[in-house]
Amino acid sequence: MIRISAPFLLALALALPFAAGQDAPTPSLKVMTFNIRYANRRDGWDHWTWRKNLVAGTIRFHDADVCGTQEVLGSQLIHLHEQLPGYASVATGRDGRNRGERCAIFYKTARLERVKWATFWLSPTPDRPSAAWGARLRRIVTWAHFRDRRSRKEFFVFNTHFDHQSAPARLESARLLVPKVAELAGDLPVVVMGDLNCTPGSAPHRVLMESLQDAQAMSETGHYGPSGTFPGFGGAARSGRKIDHIFTKNQVRVLRHGILTPTVDERVASDHWPVLAEVVLGEQPRRETIELHDGWRMQFDPKREGQLQKYANPEFDDSRWRVIRAGQPWETNGTAPDGTAWFRTTATLPPAWKGRKLHFIAYGIDDFFTLYVNGHRVATIGARTTTVRDQRIALHLPCSLFHFDRPNHVVLEVTDNGGFGGLAGRPIGLSVSSHSTTHSAAQFRESTLIARTGFHINDDAKRALPFPIEIPGKPTDRAWLRYAVGDGHDDSGDRGLTVRLLDAAGKTIHEAHHGGKDDLWHEIDVRGGDRLTLVVEDQDTRLGGPSSGNDGTILVKLKRAPLSK
């Protein structure tokens, strides 16, 4: 009888899946970008002498397989090689030889085989040392073509540092970098990293996002760490702006993304925080939610001219608008108006999302909003809220609204009727995860539009803030607008409301008197594209009445109807 040992059986069982024709999982790679701050004598106690161990220790501890560094001088390159055994690097000074900043790429020799590398300059003459577009310094991109010794897969890394003073130089650098990446890497997986001296939503960032994907947005486990990467020295307690980035292209799956904060005894490793991403080459991104927290462009619209100015159109130039982050009301930016503001951003969706059930998710857009996707008006949703978390929206959207080969334009027209306003809560984004749908785009396009808001009338004003109503569709689309107003008081006759509906010119097209608790429905014939305003007035003229005001709710429904002949 032949006896088979238990260890042999265990080994056989572990090998069976791959023996049956299944490929072994592709091992992940850890990539890092790190502006280490050049060795400057004026930095005092933050000089490189006191930081070099912490910089090298950060790279070692986080076990980066590839680390793109910026502001590396010759002496610093020597220090890092002394403290990073097992790493090699590729680097060129920005003079084309050995002087000035290097954008050095460090890599583990046991893991990666270097196939080819070179440096080009961010200028109209990229093949020779040069500066352009008002840049104070020569700016470079160092790139390397690697082969993973474990998976045998090949990929490219591009490491750069955009100019810190010239906005035109940053924009033109992005415009140059995008086609160079395509020319050199072709269809191979790509990682682009560096200190771009620009934030999400800026013009250079948007140019890059036309063909690249932000690793933070694509991370399957979300983002770890602070929101910014530029704390400055002494910035252990702050994060600053996010100007250091990692991008991917051509089938790179991002498992995790984080901004690290290496600090020892309140001394920071650099005036920039390093950024780390763990990626898998040759696999489609699997992120189920793309967060739209950074890079929003915002513009107040006190005269309600956004529609006329075509703020929702993808081609609209919003470069002069303020760049903001979602997650805080607009009052925190030093402004406290009630009224309307517009928000614009872009989102690149993974091709794997095509054909899946998409949702627009938003926790706390205050008070109500109209969503546009690629210029198409989708829905108007919302209510007056006492806390920004009251509104949790999961709006089901058809895939036909989106592009899967280029960025999508997402636009919000937000109206605030008191208290906090704007993109006040988080998360906000696009998702193919499982959600309990609260609203459906089809509901708004085909059958019933529901908008809800609260109102308050104090005894001095005798009038609630106007409630704007915009009818989606074309002028040839006929519909019936149905609304109800409840004032939340008894029917004793001591209080009453007059409700007027105004057209775009301010002319009253409907007026009704309402008193007591009954929610009476009123129906008006409207057409697509109509811009109306509902005004609620308190008819109780007594002074010193039993209440300090009148509270209630407005509920609006839209019922589609065929166009009459």
- HSE of 140 in the Cβ direction (CA atoms, 13 Å)? 27
CA angle 547, 550, 555 (to 5 degrees): 155
pLDDT of residue 192: 99
Element holding 497 (H helix, E strand): strand 497-502
Q: Kindly report, as residue ranges, where domains of CATH 2.60.120.260 are found in the chain.
A: 296-428
Residue 238's pLDDT is 66
Closest to 192 measured CA to CA, from 241, 156, 146: 156
Q: Which residues pair with 125 in a beta bridge?
A: none
Which pLDDT score, from 0 to 100, does residue 531 have?
Answer: 84
pLDDT band at 446 (very low <50, low <70, confident <90, very high): very low
**pLDDT class of 281 with cuts at 50, 70, 90:** very high
Q: Which two tokens stand for residue 283?
A: 């696999």
**What is the spatial distance between Cα 381 and Cα 218, in angstroms, rounded to a whole number?**
27
Q: Cα 271 from chain centroid?
A: 24
Q: What's the whole-number mean pLDDT along residues 344-353?
A: 90
Minimum mean pLDDT among 31-40, 391-400, 542-551: which range? 542-551
- Bridge-based pairing of strands 154-161 and 190-195 is parallel
Query: For residues 473 and 478, what is the distance between their CA atoms, to the nearest angstrom?
Result: 9
Higher pLDDT, 308 or 1: 308
At 537 the pLDDT is 79
Backbone angles phi, psi at 46, to 5 degrees: -100, 15
Q: What is the pLDDT of residue 565?
A: 31
Rounded to the nearest 10 degrees, how much is the dihedral formed by the CA atoms of 46, 52, 58, 64? 130
- Kindly indicate the confidence band of residue 236, based on its pLDDT and cuts at 50, 70 and 90: low
406: left (phi over 0), alpha (psi -120 to 50) or beta: beta
Mean pLDDT, all residues of the chain: 83
CA distances from 225 to 228, 229, 258, 543 (A): 9, 10, 6, 56
**Cα–Cα distance, 112 to 117 (Å, whole number):** 13
Q: Can you give the length of the chain in residues?
A: 565
Tokens of 303: 């005269």
Over range 330-353, report the average pLDDT.
83
Identify the CA nearest to 277 among candidates 62, 480, 497.
62
> How far apart are alpha carbons 356 and 339 in whole angstroms?
36
Helices (H), 150-239: 167-185, 203-209, 215-218
- What is 448-561's CATH number, 2.60.120.380, 1.20.1510.10, 2.40.110.10, 3.30.1120.130? 2.60.120.380
Q: What is the DSSP letter of 330?
A: G
Contacts of 191 (CB under 8 A, 6+ apart): 31, 66, 155, 156, 157, 158, 246, 247, 248, 252, 277, 279
Cβ neighbours of 228 (radius 10 Å): 20
Per-residue pLDDT band for 388 (boundaries 50, 70, 90) equals very low
Please determine, for residue 517, whether its predicted confidence score (pLDDT) is greater than 50.
no
Convert the pLDDT of each residue in 455-477 to its tens digit. 666 555 566 667 777 776 677 76
Q: Is 434 or 6 the better-scoring residue by pLDDT?
A: 434
Which residue spans of the chain are classified as CATH 2.60.120.380? 448-561
pLDDT at 5: 56
Residues of the chain with CATH 3.60.10.10: 29-287
The two tokens of residue 326 are 């979602």
- Average pLDDT estimate for 12-19: 47
* Mean pLDDT calculated for residue range 194-203: 94
Q: Element (H or E) spanning 89, and its range?
A: strand 87-90
Look at residues 555, 483, 485 and name the one whose alpha carbon lies nearest to residue 518. 485
Question: In this model, does residue 494 exceed pLDDT 60?
Answer: no
161-187: average pLDDT: 98
Output the pLDDT for position 272. Answer: 96
Overall average pLDDT of the 356-371 stretch: 86
Tokens encoding 456: 């308050």
Stretch 34-46: mean pLDDT, rounded? Answer: 95
Global confidence as pTM: 0.72
Helix axis angle for 74-83 and 48-61, nearest 10°, is 50
> E-assigned strands of 205-266?
213-214, 223-224, 244-249, 252-259, 263-264
CATH architecture assigned to 296-428: Sandwich (2.60)
pLDDT at 439: 62
CA 521 to chain centre: 40
Structure confidence at residue 562 (pLDDT): 42
Give the least confident one: 120-129, 265-274, 377-386.
Answer: 377-386
Q: For position 123, what pLDDT does the model report?
A: 98
CATH top-level class of 29-287: alpha beta
d(CA 119, CA 127): 8
Confidence of residue 543 (pLDDT cuts 50, 70, 90): very low
Q: Token match 């161990």: residue?
A: 53
Q: Which residue has the higher pLDDT, 329 or 115?
A: 115
